Amino acid sequence: MSFSAAVITFPGSNCDRDMAVALETVTGHAPLRIWHGDADLPERLDLIALPGGFSYGDYLRSGALAARSPVLKAVSSAAARGVPVLGVCNGFQVLTESGLLPGALMRNESMHFICRDMPLRVENAESSFTNGFVTGQEITIPVAHHDGNFFANEETLDRLEGEGRVAFRYLDSCNGSRRDIAGILNAGGNVLGMMPHPERAVDAAHGGTDGRILFESMLNALAPA
């Protein structure tokens, strides 16, 4: 099956190659590598991925400067057309700073960088990113962040919960995120932001393959009924 993806690289991205390798490993197709200064994206894409890292050195706020990059206008337009957009770690921060997802990612409650495998629970197994999971399934995905503390006001949190837009939840204390939220979807279900790194859990040699299911889910979503 053909699969066309684009991985965006910002100054300071350091997981863009990891994301590209994971996508090629699972889909069999190498993604396009797009520089953040490019103003245009191909019209036909099955996925746009915003990878982890420290865009612009996390100056001002994590993701705030990257959210003003020229390519984000094209990403926003694609998302509005229904193109799936995945933001991981710093990519999640960029999605909130650009307004594609609600809330904000604050400094970890412990004030320390966290790098470890993290148990998660799948809260929504009906999106194009999660259809290969089962709701309530417990998985393990690594985290590596300093500013992963998801914050939103109670009204926004209630709306995310009520609309089934919480995709993943931490099962262990991680970073102080409200309601232990690890990943959320937009209202259309085609934009996912998550702090854990599924691209680092694709190969058994790296310690686990639970992240592979997320990428396989996107292939499932494209398969003819």
1 touches 219 (CB < 8 A)? yes
Question: Which residues does 213 contact at the CB level (< 8 Å), separation at least 6?
Answer: 132, 133, 139
Angle between helices 16-27 and 210-222 (to 10 degrees): 60
Q: Which domain holds residue 143?
A: 5-222
Query: H or E stretch including 158?
Result: helix 154-162
**Amino acid (1-letter code) at residue 19:** M
Q: Is the pLDDT of residue 2 over 90?
A: no
Q: Is 82 helix (H, G, I), strand (E, B) or coil?
A: coil
Q: How many separate domains does the chain show? A: 1
Q: What is the pLDDT of residues 92-123, one digit of tens each?
A: 999 999 999 999 999 999 999 999 999 999 99
What whole-number percentage of the chain has pLDDT above 70?
A: 99
Query: Which residues are catalytic, by number?
Result: 89, 197, 199
Q: What is the pLDDT of residues 33-51, one digit of tens each?
A: 999 999 999 989 999 999 9
Q: What is the pLDDT of residues 153-206, one digit of tens each?
A: 999 999 999 999 999 999 998 999 999 999 999 999 999 999 999 999 999 998
Q: Is the pLDDT of residue 60 over 90?
A: no
CATH code of the domain covering residue 153? 3.40.50.880
172 touches 180 (CB < 8 A)? no
Tell me, what's the pLDDT at 222? 84
Q: Which residue has the tokens 């910002």?
A: 10
DSSP 32: E
Tell me, what's the pLDDT at 19? 98
Tell me, what's the pLDDT at 224? 62
Phi first, then psi: what are they for 214, rounded to 5°? -65, -45
